[in-house]
Amino acid sequence: MALAVRVSEITPPAAEPLTVAQLKAHCVVTHDNDDALLALYGRAARLYVEAVTRRLLITRTVEFWADGFPHCRRDLWLPRAPIQSVTWVKYYDQAGTLQTLSSAAYSLESPGGEFGQNARLILATDYQWPATQCRSSAVMVRAVGGYGDEGDDVAEGLRGMIRLLVAHWHSTREAVVIGGAPASVPHGFDALMWMYRIEP
């Protein structure tokens, strides 16, 4: 089980998983009138896919904030995947002074591959998590996450979720009725989501 950890994006990704040209081809759009709209949909769909799967698709810098280090555990779970590297771990000591935890005190474990789960920091032998001040966000972890710098680095299943959303939003500007109930995501999206979703 992961410690209650909040996530903040420090630097956004430099690219999107799918280009406007790729989205136009999927939506069978042959004119340029909707280029800006499709770019907007593409970014929104990427953000939605990242939110529901708890994955970081394109490389960017993020921070994880927790109210303290784990009690009686030697690992700190980071509720996103994949994580490429950890830049630093900082914490407020009991006196309220911001400290940087030695990189020798922990190692990063981040299961790779298309379906890799949560990353975690594992405390090194002979180290203990330091005591922190009782305050919100007493522990901060800055890391680099994502599958890679380019859209082609992202698994096709995740890119497929973006295609489904963009095509649905482009062709249908309101919720549709499926089986008597309105639906805001296209058929097949949930099946892919449950394949890639990281459990908290």
CB-neighbour burial class of residue 182 (10 A; exposed 0-12, middle 13-18, buried 19+):
exposed
Q: Cα 175 from chain centroid? A: 26
Candidates 163, 60, 54; CA nearest to 118 is 54
Measured distance CA(197)–CA(54) in Å, rounded: 6
- pTM score, two decimals? 0.87
pLDDT computed for residue 9 by the predictor: 95
HSE-up of residue 33 (Cα within 13 Å, Cβ side): 5
Q: Is the pLDDT of residue 89 over 80?
A: yes
Averaged over 104-124, what is the pLDDT?
A: 91
- Name the residue with higher pLDDT: 102 or 73: 102
Single-letter amino acid, residue 115: F
pLDDT tens for 20-36 read: 999 999 999 999 999 99
153, 117 in Cβ contact below 8 A?
no
φ, ψ dihedrals at 198, nearest 5°: -95, 125
Token digits for 55?
């994955």
Computed over every residue of the chain, the mean pLDDT equals: 90
Candidates 38, 41, 9, 36; CA nearest to 24 is 38
- Name the residue with higher pLDDT: 193 or 187: 193
pLDDT tens for 35-85 read: 999 999 999 999 999 999 999 999 999 999 999 999 888 999 998 999 999
Least-confidence region, from 49-58, 113-122, 154-163, 165-174: 165-174
pLDDT computed for residue 1 by the predictor: 39
Q: Is the pLDDT of residue 184 over 70?
A: no
